[in-house]
Amino acid sequence: MKRRVKVGLALVIVGIVAVFGFYQFYQSFSELQRRQGWFTTFEIHLLVEHYDKYGNLISRTCHPMTVVDQGKDWIEQQLFNPNASQKALYIGVSNDSSSVDTSWTALPNEITSAGLSRKEGTYTSTGVGSANVTVTFSVTGTASTKLYGIYYSLTGNTLIAAEQQGEANQKNLNDGDTLKITVMWSHG
C-alpha cells in the first residue's frame, strides 16, 4: 500500500513538473513570437470604473475586448479605402541604415529621385481584417534601397509603419529596373 502511495505521489510530482515545464516553454515561445513579429495582433482594452456618489472609487476592471469581423473589416476600410481623405496607400523608400525608431514621422533620407519618389499603391482586400498594398516603381537612375515605409498621404510626415531590411538585403537598382513592394496588413 505504501508503495502505491509513493508511486502515485511520484506521478503527481512528475505531472506538476511537466505542466510547469510546458508552461515555461509556452511563455518563452510566445515571447519569442512577439519579439520576432511572428504574429501580429490588434488589441482593444476596456476600462470600467465605478464611483460612489462621493467620488470614491469602488471598483476598477480592465479586460481585452474582442474585435468582431465587422470591426476588422471597418478598420481595414478606414486604412485603405481609396475614397477616404487619408488612406494608408503610399509607399516610400530610403537607403538609410538606421534602425526603425517608433518616433519617426517619415523615413530618414527618403528617396525622391530616380523614379523612387513616394507613390500610391494598389489596395487589395485579402480576407477579414487583412489587405495588401502593392506599388511598383520604375527605376530611372541608379539607387539603392533597404528601408521602406507606408504613409497615409503622398507628401508630408505621415509615416504609419517602417521596415529596415539591412545591408544584406539592400536592393542595388539600375536604370530600367523595377522595384515592387507589397505591404501585407492583418490583425486578428
**pLDDT, tens only, 69-128:** 777 777 777 877 777 777 889 999 999 999 999 899 999 999 999 999 999 999 888 888
Domain assignment present for residue 181? The answer is yes
Same domain, 30 and 90: no
Residue 119: give the domain boundaries: 69-186
**What are the E-state strand segments in the chain?**
45-51, 57-64, 90-94, 119-120, 122-127, 130-138, 143-145, 147-151, 159-164, 171-173, 178-186
Q: pTM for the complete prediction? A: 0.67
Domain assignment present for residue 143? The answer is yes
pLDDT at site 7: 54
Domain assignment present for residue 161? The answer is yes
Same domain, 81 and 145: yes
Distance of alpha carbon 23 from alpha carbon 27, whole angstroms:
6
Domain assignment present for residue 63? The answer is no
Same domain, 27 and 86: no
Same domain, 16 and 77: no
